[in-house]
């Protein structure tokens, strides 16, 4: 596995891209009428972010988008995945649209079009308008209707200018980290609320899919889910059962409603459903046909019932997030999805990347560990394609070092280093490797 790139050959039609999200890079927190989101509120609450930072400026992409698109073009990718800040285009999450906010995204799309780079947009990457949070946020069923209205408006304006539109990015995180353990905005620790929020997120996805199709958007429509295979630490009955439960409550919890119109029984059996409200028509709304499924993969779940839990060996090491590097888990996951869901549509690997404690030495960032990581995961994608999975693209996370949520600016995932004091961008060795690899594929 030391140098697999020579054996990596993908279809000429395969999509190569990089990815970002609005709150993590844009800055411009109050520029041109943008309203606050739950992440603005969360980061301005002392103690919520490890380094005490906020996304007020971040990478200042709001003012530097043209420079950033030039960098994207220099990487030889054909696609760019980014999210729209809902509160930038609709400050309260309901009511009037903000034309200045829409102008920013229109200008960004124009710059991408100049460079022949396809846009892949995400409607929701965790930054709910605070105006909606004040009305109950995702715990309030009404928010699903507001989300569908927002989706329709974006699709009406931009549907002919983008390749794909994803409703949500990683609803598992919104529900479980935002509402389950308070690690992310809005900072609620209540597992019953997390359960209800997960359902409302799925319902909002279904309603948004219907709304976008109603305005005849030609863009391909789908959702992006963070997923992982669950590996029992031993072959004990306890570890095997715990791994099955983990897979059911994470992967199947979102996949089964979308593809089978029901929640997985294995998960329901171990949940307190007393306060979980599902209306009779909900599952039919959620089960909308997808044009694509986005899969975000970083690690496997290594499941141990021992106390303390047994830890994975980490034969290939660990990222700066402390996540085990386990590329074969991506192959395992994709093959499992293909076996479980016969209607699985085209798959994009919409996020895959590694946090590294990068150092600038003589003006260069030699991040060989990140290069190895990408090579290994592309080999895993190739193995899944050989196994019959219709994977159509790969997006590295992330284009830029950025605001890494509750880790602040301490973790760096980017192909491009950002000096936050000066906003200087410096391509890392991994960026040059990725560019050369993509060019070799074209050749």
| Residues taking part in catalysis | 170, 351
Report d(CA 51, CA 54) in Å as an integer: 9
Q: What is the DSSP string of 295-351?
A: EE-S--EEE--SSSPP----TT-B-TTS-B--THHHHHHHHHHHHH-TT--EEEEEE
Is 80 in contact with 118 (CB distance < 8 Å)? Answer: yes
Report d(CA 365, CA 350) in Å as an integer: 25
β-pairing verdict for 230-232 and 301-303:
parallel
- Report the Cα 71 to chain-centroid distance in Å: 21
CA atoms within 13 A on the CB side of 422: 5
Spell out the residues 6+ positions from residue 212 whose beta carbon is closer than 8 angstroms to its own.
151, 152, 155, 159, 165, 219, 221
Alpha helices for 362-406 (secondary structure H): 368-386
Is 16 in contact with 77 (CB distance < 8 Å)? Answer: yes
For residue 400, the 8-state DSSP code is B
Task: Count CB-CB contacts under 10 A for residue 96.
Answer: 9
Report d(CA 235, CA 222) in Å as an integer: 36
Q: 89 burial class (0-12, 13-18, 19+ CB within 10 angstroms)?
A: buried
Is 348 in contact with 392 (CB distance < 8 Å)? Answer: yes
191-214 and 142-158 helices, crossing angle to 10°: 40
- Report the Cα 437 to chain-centroid distance in Å: 23
Whether the bond between 79 and the residue before it is cis, its omega within 30 degrees of 0, is no
Report d(CA 416, CA 73) in Å as an integer: 13
């Amino acid at each position: 596995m030391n140098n697999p790139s020579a054996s990596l050959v993908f279809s000429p039609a395969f999509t190569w891209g990089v990815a970002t999200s609005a709150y993590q890079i844009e800055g411009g927190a109050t520029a041109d009428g943008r309203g606050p989101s739950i992440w603005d509120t969360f980061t301005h609450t002392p103690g919520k972010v490890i380094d005490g930072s906020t996304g007020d400026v971040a990478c200042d992409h709001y003012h530097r988008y043209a420079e950033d698109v030039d960098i994207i073009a220099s990487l030889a990718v054909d696609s760019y995945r980014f999210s729209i800040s809902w509160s930038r285009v609709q400050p309260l999450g309901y009511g009037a649209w903000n034309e200045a906010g829409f102008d920013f995204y229109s200008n960004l799309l124009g710059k991408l079009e100049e460079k022949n780079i396809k846009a892949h947009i995400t409607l929701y990457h965790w930054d709910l308008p605070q105006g909606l949070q004040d009305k109950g946020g995702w715990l309030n069923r009404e928010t699903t209707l507001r989300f569908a209205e927002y989706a329709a408006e974006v699709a009406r304006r931009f549907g002919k200018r983008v390749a794909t539109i994803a409703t949500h990015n990683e609803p598992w995180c919104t529900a479980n980290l935002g509402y389950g353990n308070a690690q992310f905005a809005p900072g609620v620790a209540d597992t019953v609320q997390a359960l209800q929020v997960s359902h409302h997120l799925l319902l909002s996805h279904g309603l948004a899919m219907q709304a976008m199709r109603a305005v005849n958007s030609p863009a391909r429509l789908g959702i992006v889910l963070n997923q992982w295979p669950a590996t029992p630490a031993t072959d004990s009955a306890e570890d095997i059962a715990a791994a099955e439960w983990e897979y059911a409550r994470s992967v199947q919890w979102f996949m089964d409603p979308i593809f089978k119109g029901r929640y997985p029984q294995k998960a329901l059996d171990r949940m307190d459903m007393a306060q979980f409200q599902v209306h009779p028509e909900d599952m039919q709304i959620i089960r909308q046909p997808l044009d694509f499924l986005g899969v975000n993969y970083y690690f496997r779940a290594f499941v141990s019932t021992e106390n303390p839990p047994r830890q994975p060996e980490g034969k290939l090491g660990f990222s700066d997030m402390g996540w085990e590097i386990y590329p074969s888990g991506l192959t395992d996951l994709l093959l499992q999805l293909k076996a479980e869901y016969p209607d699985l549509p085209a798959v994009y690997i919409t996020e895959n990347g590694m946090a590294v404690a990068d150092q600038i030495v003589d003006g260069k960032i030699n991040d060989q560990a990140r290069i190895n990581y990408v090579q290994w995961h592309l080999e895993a994608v190739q193995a899944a394609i050989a196994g019959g999975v219709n994977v159509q693209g790969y997006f590295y996370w992330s284009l830029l070092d950025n605001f890494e949520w509750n880790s602040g600016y301490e973790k760096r995932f980017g192909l491009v280093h950002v000096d936050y004091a000066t906003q200087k961008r410096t391509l890392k060795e991994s960026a040059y490797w990725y560019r050369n690899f993509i060019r070799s594929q074209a050749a």
